[in-house]
């Protein structure tokens, strides 16, 4: 699909598939072993927002900000080999995986659903569409996020546990990926809680920035 059409990926996306624990430095922080396969979850498309819209915290929720590289799918793909996976990529975006830690703690400990913790309305703020030509090597880009001007996250996708081709190949073995779908690739260390009135800024160094207010 042409980049011009993918610029409206938020409007036309059918699903957001995300992976967790995909940065090597997080293993030491969480004191866990390296996963052998990607750990996946989904966000509904109703969680998307773009600049100019506010992140709205559900009543009583404690929510963290998590900066991520999003991969915008450009071609319908099923059971794609890793060697062909980058051909399926239409472009990229910077994204925030807003995470209700209050929900996730119980979900992890009791084996419950992640839906509310990851999929509430406004839980997936995204930047503008980034063309493939703007990122020479998606496995070596610098991601950052600030809250109220204070740097929290500053990580590089070179620390991926699972590369973009690996993620696309693994996901597409079970779930067909379609044009405008987004794959979120995980977050580097430094995420933390936000509250109403905070301003979150983030992006990809030298490529894109965004700003969202929290309500």
To the nearest whole number, what is the mean pLDDT of the chain? Answer: 96
Task: Return the exposure string of 43-74: e unless at least 16 CB atoms fall within 10 Å of the residue's CB, then b.
Answer: bebebbbeeeeebbbeeebebbbbbbbbbbbb
The pLDDT value given to residue 88? 98
Cα 201 to Cα 151: distance, rounded to the nearest angstrom: 9
Distances from the Cα of 166 to the Cαs of 27, 38, 57, 172, 185, in angstroms? 19, 9, 33, 10, 11
Per-residue pLDDT averaged across 8-12, rounded? 97
Q: What is the pTM assigned to this prediction?
A: 0.96
Query: Is the model's pLDDT at 36 over the cut of 80?
Result: yes
2 against 137, higher pLDDT: 137
Fold of 1-214: Fumarylacetoacetate hydrolase; domain 2 (3.90.850)
pLDDT per residue over 164-211, tens digit each? 999 999 999 999 999 999 999 999 999 999 999 999 999 999 999 999
Residue with tokens 């590289």: 69
Cα 95 to Cα 19: distance, rounded to the nearest angstrom: 13
pLDDT per residue over 119-140, tens digit each? 999 999 999 999 999 999 999 9
**Any idea where the domains of the chain sit in the sequence?**
1-214
Cα 197 to Cα 202: distance, rounded to the nearest angstrom: 16
Per-residue pLDDT averaged across 27-51, rounded? 96
User: What is the distance in angstroms between the CA of the first residue and the CA of the last residue of the chain?
Assistant: 36
Per-residue pLDDT averaged across 68-97, rounded? 98
């Amino acid at each position: 699909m042409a980049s011009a059409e993918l610029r409206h990926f938020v409007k036309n996306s059918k699903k957001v598939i995300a992976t967790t624990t995909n940065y090597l430095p997080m293993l030491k922080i969480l004191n866990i072993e390296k996963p052998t396969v990607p750990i996946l979850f989904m966000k509904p498309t109703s969680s998307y927002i773009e600049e100019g819209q506010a992140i709205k915290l559900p009543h009583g929720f404690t929510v963290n900000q998590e900066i991520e590289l999003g991969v915008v799918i450009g071609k319908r793909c099923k059971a794609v080999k890793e060697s062909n996976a980058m051909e399926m990529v239409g472009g990229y975006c910077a994204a925030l995986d807003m995470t209700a830690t209050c929900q996730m703690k119980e979900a992890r400990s009791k084996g419950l659903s992640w839906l509310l913790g990851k999929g509430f309305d406004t839980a997936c703020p995204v930047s503008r569409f980034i063309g493939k030509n703007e990122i020479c090597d998606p496995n070596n880009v610098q991601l950052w996020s600030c809250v109220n001007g204070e740097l929290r996250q500053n990580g590089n996708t070179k620390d991926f546990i699972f590369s973009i081709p690996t993620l696309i190949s693994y996901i597409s073995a079970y779930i067909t990926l379609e044009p405008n779908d987004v794959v979120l690739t995980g977050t580097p260390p430094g995420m933390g809680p936000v509250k109403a009135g905070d301003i979150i800024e983030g992006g990809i160094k030298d490529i894109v920035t965004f700003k969202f207010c929290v309500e």
